[in-house]
Structure 1
Amino acid sequence: MAGRAAHPPLRRLRHLLLALLLLAGPGAAEPPVPQLPAHIVRFVVANGEFTLLHEMGHMLIAELDLPVLGREEDAADQLAIMLLFLFHEDLPQAERDARMLAIVDYWRLESQRPRRVEERVPAWATHALDEQRFYNIACLVYGSDTQRLDWLPRVAGLPMERALYCDQEYLQARKALDWTARSGASPSRGRHCTCTTIRRRRMRSTPCWCARAAWTTWPDGSAGCSPCRAR
């Protein structure tokens, strides 16, 4: 992926999550059953990775106190897909595409699967409908390289009305991942944050290291943490 050397925080985030994957259990390191065809093994492994990283997305949101606009389940899906792009960046392009398309294919099949009434996701649920998750994931994959994957909307059934903006959706998600990698920190120590002071209609921002308990807003309009206030 272009610019990989320019994002050391993303590298650190990748190494952290790879370590968590190894700690997930002995099953994560077991070789695939040799009797299964390669495309089935790929389908199972890719969707297993997505599911695990989706749950790790919830962990990152909680432990790093990440801001979320919208539903957390949608954010966890986006984190999972973007982290998979990061993990697979050293794979051959064809294998990387095949793994991402296996995830798209799973959600397409899941959205088309007939369900009993009690199995259907209600409109008020925290999860998006399976159809929505399919289109969201397909859009992120397509948006990662719209020129090279120009065939994906037709094959996956992604309407062109949505596909037109998928490159922008991918860039938004990548920007959020970059911000997370730069701003995230161990909750036991604190986090990087920005103290913003507004005085005489002028805004001044100062980076600092802030424990969660120290974050506050002062009567004079300053917002941030005590270490910043001390400066």
Structure 2
Amino acid sequence: MKYQRCIILVMLFIMSCSSTQDCLENINLLPMYGSQKKCQEQIDIDQDFFRECDNGFKNRQEASKFYTKKAWGYFYKNDYDTAMKRFNQAWLLDSLNEETYWGFANILGMKEKPEESLIYFNKSIKINPNNSNVWLGLGVSNGQIFFKTQKQEYLDRAIECLKKSVQLNPKNALAYGQLTASYSYFMEKDSALKYLELTDKIDPNAINPEVREILRKK
């Protein structure tokens, strides 16, 4: 009898450990929770979160926008982990909220993971292809990959994305500034000076001083 009780206790302990191990930690620090299968405890937490939002907002799309706004607030305070958590909550509420993917991409870019960021910039663009700043971010990430790999194709893509950005918003000074920098690396001084002039008309601070120095010496 004592032997049977010991067996039961051991089995319960193993089951308890197995249940705990199934709960992967820190998945809320990964975009879309890392696409990981959640354990029952995490599913229960999500259900509680849904109930809270359903009681506090008109619909889940509205709740998603609320958490997106909170996420950007943390992002601009350079608190990228908390921003990721809030973007994940916003995504959980509405997977068609294009800003969540934009947020994931920006955080990955800030964490020097430009290759991964491309996935989420493209997801955002697939939902809404008319956001100038998302195209800007996609261009910047391609530029970061170019600097790492020196593969011309990434610089070409960066310029394509940046041109799309200024097409959508002709007053996007940061996009013009990035185009100026991109053409300076192409050694195309005429194109670089063209975009330098356009940038200066909108916001001279959008130009990196190093880029100005490069063009001055050419």
Larger Rg: 2
Higher strand share: 1
Report if TM-score (shorter chain) is over 0.5: no
TM bucket (normalised to shorter chain) is under 0.3
Q: Larger relative contact order (C-alpha < 8 A, sep ≥ 6)?
A: 1
Higher helix share: 2
